[in-house]
């Protein structure tokens, strides 16, 4: 049975059971800030699951496109995908467990429908916890239908609870249906059943009994009406029905893989590592096509959906390189993707040109990044090769990542080509630290508290002026500002200076700044013609363009700088200045990170 027939049969079956067919929605949720993509069929239906009346009644069925990236590391195995289609039947306060389970079973096993042998089916039900009872009701229904005790597992919330999709919303216990592929488990008779990751068990359908609404405070409030949300995976179910080994062996992937094996010049199915890369590319390029080609389509970027898209494309490019594909190539498998879905998602297919352009553009951008990073790597190489341990430090690997966007895998590849290894643990550590910092930064953005926020950044801004002047006093006039970045946590200041600052120099700079803070200098501003400001010796950014008339900030008798502000009124407001780090930023440019502490801290 092909995917097209499965979609059709599913809708037909549920129409016979009184369901109205509704159309699948865009991949990108509207008015739902809790998720980036529809990760399940229930998402576009959330308002109805929460009690809103649906114009087509209380029994609905549909096919919904979904994107899930949570399992991205499993993509390439037998069954995990980042894009998939979900078949769903819905009860909005209408039927509940009895009908939902009975119909699932009938559709799966009846020879008139899918005809899956009943002895191949295993099910799981919710074991119960914290005031939510063990789901004996579902188990009893399964038993009555003919599933023996030993093929029913009672599992905890981690396995048998669904939702909410984001942080809040409808959710509840579920019962899941697994197909026994018969693939041997390495643990033999000790295989733990459907939860075992051995690859023997394929989850094909999930009936969720949505009876709670999770609140922002973490509590579960019972819904006024109980709903059913079911999700059957199209790709997995046809894999079972076609007796195939993996989702990649079906018509929803074979043509894509064919373009890849043609490009590489090696058949698919000969080498596990190569096959895995081809599968990953096939999956990611498909997902990218659907994200770009969506009605609310997005382009690669560094935020939100655009960032997910960027990661998918770049990961595909990386696997392409492993296969020897070094130039842009994704539009070729993309054409195969669109071909597969011509009749199913014409709205996506009609955006062919945009999809191909975006893919190629992003590939080119990434290839440039790689080229640039490779050059930097070549520059480091002579030094690296002197290292007797033949190991590239985690710090350097992180620098390549942070400064040039160079993925760690590529650094490892390059290192390997020169007979070296990379301190991966060191990189992971630097990376984790960086994540923490950006997470702390992101938390701040969402916390609001803008008043507080801007007060701290204002103080750090004034401290930056003091730092700039102090650096010129200690290091010389060449120590000029090359960049400044302020967050509520710290200031970061880049300046020209050819070598690392000594501990003594750092200490002197810190002391000078703290001295000016203690002096309680008034901060004042005035507007002057640029020439006059320069005559007065105001510091201005080298290479920056200014208007003829500029604003200057004066900090007592200590500093005069062309600047837009804002600043504090008196340096006494700053607290204690502390340099946390001095490091190289780029050739001839140093970088200082510093903070302001309350007087009584440190």
Name the minimum Å distance from CB 231 to ligand SER.
2
Task: Give the one residue of 162, 290, 345, 377 binding ligand SER; rule: CB under 6 A.
Answer: 162
Antiparallel, parallel or unpaired: β 220-233 and 152-155: unpaired
Name the minimum Å distance from CB 167 to ligand SER.
16
Between 38 and 77, how does the x/- string for binding to ligand SER read (CB under 6 A)? --xxx-----------------------------------
> What is the three-class DSSP state of 590?
strand
Name the minimum Å distance from CB 172 to ligand SER.
10
Distances from the Cα of 388 to the Cα of 313, 392, 420, 476, 575, angstroms:
37, 11, 10, 38, 47
Name the minimum Å distance from CB 227 to ligand SER.
11
Task: Give the one residue of 85, 229, 283, 423 binding ligand SER; rule: CB under 6 A.
Answer: 229
**CB closer to ligand SER out of 25 and 482:** 25
> What is the three-class DSSP state of 167?
coil
- Enter the DSSP assignment of 295: T
Number of residues that bind ligand SER (CB under 6 A): 10
Contact status: 170 vs ligand SER (CB under 6 A): no
Task: Give the one residue of 63, 208, 323, 539 binding ligand SER; rule: CB under 6 A.
Answer: 208
Write out the two tokens for 544.
Answer: 């920056």
Determine the interface stretch with ligand SER among 22-30, 227-235, 314-322, 424-432 (rule: CB under 6 A): 227-235
**CB closer to ligand SER out of 231 and 297:** 231
Determine the interface stretch with ligand SER among 224-232, 340-348, 522-530, 569-577 (rule: CB under 6 A): 224-232
> What is the three-class DSSP state of 222?
strand
**CB closer to ligand SER out of 88 and 394:** 88
**CB closer to ligand SER out of 208 and 223:** 208
Q: How far is CA 164 from the centre of its chain?
A: 18
Residues between 237 and 296 with contacts to ligand SER, criterion CB under 6 A: none
Determine the interface stretch with ligand SER among 146-154, 225-233, 370-378, 482-490 (rule: CB under 6 A): 225-233
Find, among 383, 351, 287, the residue nearest to 28 by Cα: 287
Q: Closest-CB residue for ligand SER?
A: 231
Type and span of the H or E element at 249: none
**CB closer to ligand SER out of 82 and 230:** 230
Residues between 286 and 325 with contacts to ligand SER, criterion CB under 6 A: none
558-592 burial: b if 16+ Cβ within 10 Å, else e:
bbbbbbeeebbebbebbbbbbbeebeebeeeebbb
Q: What is the DSSP string of 559-579?
A: EEEE------SBGGGG-EEEE
**CB closer to ligand SER out of 51 and 306:** 51
Distance (Å, whole) CA 468 – CA 559: 9
Name the minimum Å distance from CB 208 to ligand SER.
5
Omega before 549 cis (within 30°)? no
Sign of CA dihedral 494, 495, 499, 503: negative
Report the first-to-last Cα separation within the chain, whole angstroms. Answer: 71
Contact status: 88 vs ligand SER (CB under 6 A): yes
**CB closer to ligand SER out of 171 and 410:** 171
Determine the interface stretch with ligand SER among 228-236, 256-264, 270-278, 494-502 (rule: CB under 6 A): 228-236
Name, in order, each residue with C-beta under 8 angstroms of 542's C-beta and a sequence gap of 6 or more. 480, 481, 482
**CB closer to ligand SER out of 62 and 275:** 62
Contact status: 89 vs ligand SER (CB under 6 A): no
Contact status: 235 vs ligand SER (CB under 6 A): no
Q: How far is CA 42 from the centre of its chain?
A: 21
Determine the interface stretch with ligand SER among 36-44, 108-116, 407-415, 491-499 (rule: CB under 6 A): 36-44
Distances from the Cα of 521 to the Cα of 467, 512, 557, angstroms:
14, 13, 8
Report the alpha-carbon angle 177-182-184, nearest 5.
Answer: 120
Contact status: 230 vs ligand SER (CB under 6 A): yes
**CB closer to ligand SER out of 41 and 488:** 41
Task: Give the one residue of 164, 193, 231, 333 binding ligand SER; rule: CB under 6 A.
Answer: 231
Report the alpha-carbon angle 483-519-521, nearest 5.
Answer: 60
CB 198, CB 186: distance < 8 Å: yes
Write out the two tokens for 351.
Answer: 């955006």
Contact status: 204 vs ligand SER (CB under 6 A): no
Contact status: 206 vs ligand SER (CB under 6 A): yes
Residues between 450 and 479 with contacts to ligand SER, criterion CB under 6 A: none
Antiparallel, parallel or unpaired: β 83-92 and 220-233: antiparallel
| Residues in contact with ligand SER by the rule CB under 6 A | 40-42, 88, 162, 206, 208, 229-231
């Amino acid at each position: 049975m092909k995917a097209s027939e499965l979609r059709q049969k599913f809708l037909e079956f549920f129409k016979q059971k009184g369901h109205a067919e509704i159309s699948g929605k865009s991949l990108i949720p509207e008015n739902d800030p809790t998720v980036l993509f529809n990760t399940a069929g229930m998402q576009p239906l959330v308002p109805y699951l929460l009690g809103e009346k649906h114009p087509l009644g209380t029994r609905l069925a549909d096919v919904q496109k979904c994107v899930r990236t949570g399992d991205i590391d499993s993509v390439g195995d037998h069954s995990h995908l980042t894009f998939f289609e979900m078949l769903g039947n819905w009860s909005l306060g209408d039927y509940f467990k009895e009908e939902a389970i009975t119909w699932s079973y009938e559709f799966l096993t009846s020879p008139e429908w899918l005809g899956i042998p009943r002895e191949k089916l295993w099910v799981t039900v919710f074991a119960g916890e914290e005031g939510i009872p063990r789901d004996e009701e579902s188990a009893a229904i399964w038993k009555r239908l003919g599933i023996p005790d030993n093929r029913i597992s009672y599992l905890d919330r981690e396995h048998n609870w669904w939702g909410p999709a984001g942080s809040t919303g409808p959710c509840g216990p579920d019962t899941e249906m697994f197909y026994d592929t018969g693939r041997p488990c390495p643990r033999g008779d000790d295989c733990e059943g459907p939860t075992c990751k051995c690859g023997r068990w394929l989850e094909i359908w999930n009936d969720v009994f949505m009876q709670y609404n999770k609140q922002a405070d973490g509590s579960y409030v019972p819904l006024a009406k109980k709903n059913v949300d079911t999700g059957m995976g199209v790709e997995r179910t046809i894999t079972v029905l076609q007796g195939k080994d993996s989702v990649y062996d079906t018509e929803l992937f074979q043509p894509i893989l064919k373009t890849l094996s043609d490009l590489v010049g090696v058949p698919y199915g000969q080498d596990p590592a190569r096959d895995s890369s081809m599968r990953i590319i096939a999956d990611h390029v498909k997902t990218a096509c659907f994200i770009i080609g969506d009605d609310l389509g997005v382009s690669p970027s560094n935020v939100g959906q655009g960032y997910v898209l960027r990661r998918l494309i770049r990961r595909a490019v990386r696997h392409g390189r492993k296969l020897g594909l070094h130039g842009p190539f994704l539009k070729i498998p993309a054409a195969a993707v669109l071909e597969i879905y011509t009749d199913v998602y014409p709205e996506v297919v009609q955006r062919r040109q945009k999809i191909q352009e975006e893919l190629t553009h992003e590939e080119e951008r990434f290839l440039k990044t790689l080229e640039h990073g490779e050059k930097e790597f070549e520059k480091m190489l002579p030094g690296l090769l002197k290292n007797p341990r033949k190991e590239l430090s985690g710090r350097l690997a992180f620098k390549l990542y942070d400064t040039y966007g160079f993925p760690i895998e590529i650094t490892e590849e390059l290192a390997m080509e020169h007979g070296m290894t990379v301190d991966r643990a060191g990189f992971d550590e630097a990376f984790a630290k960086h994540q923490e910092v950006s997470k702390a930064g992101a938390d701040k953005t969402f916390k609001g508290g803008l008043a507080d926020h801007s007060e701290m950044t204002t103080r750090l801004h004034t401290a930056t002026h003091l730092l700039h002047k102090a650096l010129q006093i200690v290091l010389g006039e060449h120590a000029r500002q090359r960049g400044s970045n302020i967050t509520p946590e710290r200031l970061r200041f880049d300046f020209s200076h050819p070598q690392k600052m000594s501990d003594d120099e750092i200490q002197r700079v810190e002391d000078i700044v703290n001295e000016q803070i203690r002096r309680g200098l008034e901060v004042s501003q005035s507007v002057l013609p640029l020439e006059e400001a320069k005559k007065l010796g105001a510091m201005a950014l080298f290479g920056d363009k200014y208007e003829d008339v500029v604003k200057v900030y004066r900090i007592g008798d200590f500093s005069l700088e062309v600047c837009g502000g804002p600043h504090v009124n008196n340096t006494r407001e700053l607290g204690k200045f502390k340099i946390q780090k001095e490091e190289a930023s780029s050739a001839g440019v140093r970088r200082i990170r510093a903070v302001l502490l309350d007087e009584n801290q440190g």
